[in-house]
Amino acid sequence: MGWMYVVHNFEFLSDQHGVLGIRGLTASILIRAASIIYQQAPCFGQHHLPDFQQLQRTLM
């Protein structure tokens, strides 16, 4: 349908488990927590975040 959306995908190097993938909802929760802790938005992706209100109106 031509919709574009952001899915964050991070890799975390663990001493015990090697490289772990952190993505989707978990990544979004961690970004939000870091934004609250550091009291600033992340420096990446701010220009490409989708308008979820428009998506909701379209789906209804």
Residue 44 has φ and ψ, to the nearest 5°, of: -115, 150
pTM, full prediction:
0.59
**DSSP H or E run through 58:** helix 52-59
**DSSP H or E run through 11:** strand 9-14
- Beta carbons of 19 and 10 less than 8 angstroms apart: no
Q: Is the pLDDT of residue 48 over 60?
A: no
- Beta carbons of 27 and 12 less than 8 angstroms apart: no
Looking at every residue in the chain, the average pLDDT score rounds to 81
